[in-house]
Chains A and B, each alone.
Chain A
């Protein structure tokens, strides 16, 4: 309901040109930064373990919370495990799970949003009612319940979080689609007999993409932080797995003794989210 005012035609026209050459579009300055940052994270997560012989679960209780050294370049955690190996493992896992969560939220949200906005009528009313009910249902409750049904499984946590987050996409996409569907371009394409897929690709997606991608960038952070919040109330713990959100929770008690250890998963998440934001480029309204 917040994006229901007409954004004017000018941007659509501009993007029309953009869309026709989108295959060989030049990346913006910010997006190049985003790519480099993400690439650096990926290299760190996948390449470092190849050169470093460290097991993210191997403990050494005699050297817990050790400062960075040659043997452990990022220090050790509260059980004496190599932080370098753990952060790398955690990025691999969390990145995958966050993407899973984002995709499971964005896809249904996008599909339902476009359908509701385009078709209107009872279809719109039905989907909007479902969305309102989901919003009204405490998200925490859904996640807690799913976590309780299959305890100790990360994917249920992330799916539960996705079940809550899809509504955001739905709302944004629906209101944008409603306006776009009545625009002259879509109208003329329809009259010219172009199929739905073509109209979606040509007119809707370029307009929706920046909004959806930014929601996704924030969504990735939201889902990882949600896991760490749940860990804080002792839900979803699954030792000895390294996962960014849970690492923050596990290392929190040592904030005073070893702040650099707590800072590592936080920084990893920061860079991850920042790279997504830069990649997403334009933010939604």
Chain B
């Protein structure tokens, strides 16, 4: 057991290093390949569109030394990275680390809350559908899942605001700062996520419910609830957790729309701005943090799966 875990952790550590290098290098190449005058882009990000002109672009060019050769710039970045220095944003001038700390915190709040809600909604629906495959619950769940997946997230968000903020007045419409602000954007994300996790749960459940040991347990006289608790949940949990772990990363980055609709200061928003303004240190910092986050999450999921599913410890 311990040996399995330590091999796993070692593997993940190597992966983390590899990911950091690949992500950094690839972003570097891509940002250099982008068309458009970088100095003008950065000036527009800094001074706003009305102030950007040849003079501002020239000042940016001179200040940042943008005419440096790409190879030298790359090695600068690499050596800075090794000393854990992510540099300063070309737009705001603040250090990339402090900007990311602020934004990543908000993104994680949102993602974790959405995940929690998706589990609370998706898993029970999935179990109900899986216990009676092709029953009316199952069919209804499929149609709702398809419907939720065809609605763009901004429409889901809008409907939630209209209902909970404008009609009922229970929750703030948008913004951030208080705990109650988290509720609506998290819900908007969770609904789409719950749609698919309900399907994943349903298939896991249907398989378990159709298995001989499940039927045996029922004939032994255990109630449906007891059987489910004893045999069902644990077996269903593994694929659901594995699925959600991949989704969590999509969430962290895929929330741009929700962030911009709810005025939530997340990392997706930061990334879009950084790409638009050609803020290379911010792009690299964001990509790096998101990549490492992915590796960390994957490691956690593996550990949790090991815990839930003892069979895996042997392999």
Contacts and interface: CB of A to CB of B under 8 A. Distances in A.
Chains A and B touch each other in the complex, with CB atoms below 8 Å apart:
yes
Interface of A: 1-3, 5, 129, 132-133, 135-141, 144-145, 148-149, 151, 168, 218, 221-222, 225, 228-229, 232-233, 235, 245, 248-249, 252, 255, 262, 266, 269-270, 272-274, 277, 283-285
A135 B26 contact: no
23 contacts: A1-B305, A5-B311, A129-B15, A133-B22, A135-B294, A136-B292, A138-B291, A141-B275, A148-B36, A148-B275, A221-B146, A225-B149, A225-B152, A229-B153, A232-B152, A232-B256, A232-B261, A233-B260, A266-B150, A273-B146, A277-B142, A283-B199, A285-B204
B199 to A, nearest CB: 6
Contacts of B287: 137-138, 141
Contacts of B243: 2
A232 B242 contact: no
**Secondary structure dominating the interface of A:** helix
A152 B213 CA distance: 57
Contact of B291 (A129, A137, A225, A285): A137
Interface string B191-220: 000001001100110010000000000000
Interface of B: 15, 18-19, 22-23, 26-27, 30-31, 33-36, 142-143, 146-147, 149-155, 158, 196, 199-200, 203-204, 207, 238-239, 242-243, 246, 249-250, 253-254, 256-257, 260-261, 268, 271-272, 275, 283, 286-287, 290-292, 294-295, 298, 302, 305, 311
Given A140-B271, A149-B35, A252 B155 contact: yes
Contact of A262 (B31, B36, B155, B271): B155
Nearest to B12: A132
Contacts of A148: 34-36, 275
Contact of A274 (B19, B143, B260): B143
Contacts, number: 142
A218 B239 CA distance: 18
A225 B150 CA distance: 7
B152 A228 contact: yes
A249 B153 CA distance: 11
B260 A232 contact: yes
Nearest to A224: B150
Contacts of A133: 18-19, 22-23
